[in-house]
Amino acid sequence: MRKTIRELLIISLVLGFLYITGLHTEVAAFTQRIILSTGLMNADAEPENSVEPFDFNQDIKSVDGDIINLSEYRGKLIFLNLWASWCGPCRAEMPGIEELYEDLQEEEDIVFIMLSVDRNENAALKFLKRMKFEFPGYTLGGPLTEQLRVPSIPTTFVISPDGQVIKKKVGMARYNTRSFKNFLLENKPK
């Protein structure tokens, strides 16, 4: 009994330390990255059974402060990921998205939009700067459209050149797979 109480006390102290220092998100993200690396949560590389039109009426703000309306990307294939700096699963999938972006960044007809939904845009910008990601990071330039008010993050949309949501994934996934990369390449404008 004493051993159990001591073990619970030690576990509580470690968890309390992680929470107080803010490291719990980092530890959770690290653990989730390990899970993603197993391939158990690879992104499905098939289009949705039923597609829906995408609402392009969303303003976003680049890390440089420029306001852009998503309609500017109409006619391109869009990989749109909603995330937040405090979200462990978001942090876990970002290195894989970075690898996918690096592989496809020369494809002019494929656009990556990593859109932070952080209430504090400085938190998102600091996180992106600290992590040194190359993919294009954005913050909100206005209120979210109804379509982008998702039940949880991360959520990823793939929008076809003709403006249809051909893939929507709620929750973390591993996107840097050959099959998902081929899915993007097959659906870019011809």
pLDDT grade, residue 4 (50/70/90)? confident
CATH of the domain at 64: 3.40.30.10
Whether 76 shows a pLDDT value over 60: the answer reads yes
- Side chain identity at residue 163, one-letter code: G
Cβ burial of 115 (10 Å; 0-12, 13-18, 19+) is buried
* Predicted confidence (pLDDT) per residue in 121-159, tens digit: 999 999 999 999 999 999 999 999 999 999 999 999 999
Residues spanned by the domain of 17: 2-187
- What is the reported pLDDT for 28? 66
Judge whether 58 and 142 are in contact, CB under 8 Å: yes
Alpha carbon of residue 109 to chain centroid: 20
DSSP codes joined into one string, 135-182: SPEEEESSPPPGGG--SSSSEEEEE-TTSEEEEEEES--B--SHHHHH
* Predicted confidence (pLDDT) per residue in 87-101, tens digit: 989 999 999 999 999
* Predicted confidence (pLDDT) per residue in 27-57, tens digit: 666 666 666 666 666 677 777 777 899 999 9
Here the tokens at position 122 are 């400085």
Cβ burial of 184 (10 Å; 0-12, 13-18, 19+) is buried
Domain count, the chain: 1
Query: Which residues, in sequence order, are CB contacts of 124 under 8 Å at separation 6+?
Result: 84, 85, 116, 118, 137, 139
- What is the reported pLDDT for 17? 58
List phi, psi (to 5°) of 41. -120, 40
pLDDT grade, residue 25 (50/70/90)? low
Here the tokens at position 16 are 């309390």
